[in-house]
Amino acid sequence: MKLVFILDPLPSLKIYKDTSMAMMREASQRGHKLFVSMQHDLFLRGSEARINTQSFEFSADGYELSLTAENSPADFDAIIMRKDPPFDNEYLYSTYLLEIAAGQGAKVFNNPAAIRGWNEKLSVARFPQFAPEFLVTASNALIRDFLNTHQDIVVKPLDGMGGSSIFRLTLSDPNISVILETITEHGTRTIMAQRYLPEILQGDKRIIVINGEPLPYALARIPLAGETRGNLAAGGTGVPQPLSSRDYEIAATVGKTLKQEGLFLVGLDVIGDHLTEINVTSPTGMVEIAAQTDCNPACVMLDALEQHLAQ
């Protein structure tokens, strides 16, 4: 197969631990031809979707790239969108271009319309039976009321990743006003507040769901001492653990809907018994799970992708 991965700039990726690279390495070992593109390599020539690509091969020094070539997205067996957030206007435009490409015969993973429609923070509202108490607003007064009710909360932007700009607030925090003014940009930016879940100390669990089916292990991301966030990008330590019965209930229920929506590779974030985020853009954690368990997520992903494309 000919597979295109839309990535962040290659020098920014850590080849030894990046999930996209793990999938690409597995695909290469199976004899598939790899190509890479960046976000702005997608474009329209008139009404026709086009994409600039470079062939990619792993080498002793890391990787080798060919010269850039212009192609029709439909020339490839699959286009795998792995550009990291933030989900800004440029990301939004990319989903439009990918949707046009899909309409012209390209096979895009994840479904670009679903990526656009499933905000990674707001999507927990689709499954209220699993979500902790939360509030979505730009109003500092409403957030203060929420804090007064729950006494211990986290606030976070709707378009971030990797734990960026996530704050924990308690009633005794002397910086409540400045934190809320900053994160809401003085009441002009909508954010999410969630009840603080003390189970975060046992890990923020990343459950990888592939074509509707969860892997048997979650990656529990344990926060640093004194840290609220478990994200690996924020210094958390990844420790795989078998799914609990509650983890599986959440993942199986959500996974059924994800599959219907064309969300092929998704990362669910679960703290304790609660679903806190649904990551549809570029979920990570495959390398850590593969290194510490008998499960190879990249292999599972390629098996599922090959089977899906053969249908």
The 10s digit of each residue's pLDDT in 127-147 is 999 999 999 999 999 999 999
> Considering 176, 196, 216, which residue would you say is the last residue of a domain?
196
Residues 148 and 42 occupy one common structural domain: no
Given the residues 82, 83, 121, 205, the one annotated as active site: 121
Confirm whether 48 is a catalytic residue.
no
Residues 26 and 75 occupy one common structural domain: yes
Q: pTM of the prediction?
A: 0.93
Confirm whether 120 is a catalytic residue.
no
Confirm whether 296 is a catalytic residue.
no
Confirm whether 221 is a catalytic residue.
yes
Confirm whether 126 is a catalytic residue.
no
Given the residues 140, 211, 231, 279, the one annotated as active site: 279
Given the residues 82, 156, 195, 205, the one annotated as active site: 156
Q: For position 237, what pLDDT does the model report?
A: 85
d(CA 97, CA 224): 40
Express each pLDDT in 67-112 by its tens digit.
999 999 999 999 999 999 888 999 999 999 999 999 999 999 999 9
| Residue 127, domain member (yes or no) | no
Alpha helices in 240-296 (DSSP H): 245-261, 286-292
**Residue 153 lies in domain:** 134-196
Task: Classify residue 244 by its DSSP letter.
Answer: P
Domain CATH for 301: 3.30.470.20
Given the residues 41, 82, 229, 247, the one annotated as active site: 229
d(CA 162, CA 207): 15
Tell me how many domains the chain contains: 3
Given the residues 82, 83, 195, 221, the one annotated as active site: 221
Q: What residues of the chain score a pLDDT lower than 70?
A: 162-163, 225-235
Confirm whether 277 is a catalytic residue.
yes
Cβ pair 199, 218 in contact under 8 A: no
d(CA 117, CA 153): 26
